[in-house]
Structure 1
Amino acid sequence: MNPSIFLFRLSIILLPLHIFASERVGDWGPIKDVKDPHVVKIGQFAVSEYNIQSKSGLKFVNVVHGEF
């Protein structure tokens, strides 16, 4: 197969994938599982850091909603 034809076909396939992927960058979406241990740890960290910076006494209870 001619290399230029191969590259042309490859670009026809990859270009739409690149456009789709580049449009998705920066989109926000809801967190699907707010009870995921990683999400809970992030919430606990956020409350802890807020308490340190503002010298307040907030207490972390649970994550209700979030976006990623």
Structure 2
Amino acid sequence: AKETGGYVVAVDAVGAGIGEVVLVASGSSARLTEATRDRPSDAVIMAIVDSWDIDGVIKWRKDA
């Protein structure tokens, strides 16, 4: 892949705040939402992560 300088234009479709952990879709999939259709974007923020676990063990939680 060609180096782009480390920046990506992402449309925030979920209202994420500064410092929140988010899930991002990029490429053509990013332009298939109501918030991004017909907009020149590289990516869409599609979810705010509240917690994640591995094999049933919580590894990170937003409010911890």
- Normalised by the length of structure 2, the TM-score is 0.19
Bigger helix share: 1
Bigger strand share: 2
- Structure with greater Cα Rg: 1
- Normalised by the length of structure 1, the TM-score is 0.18
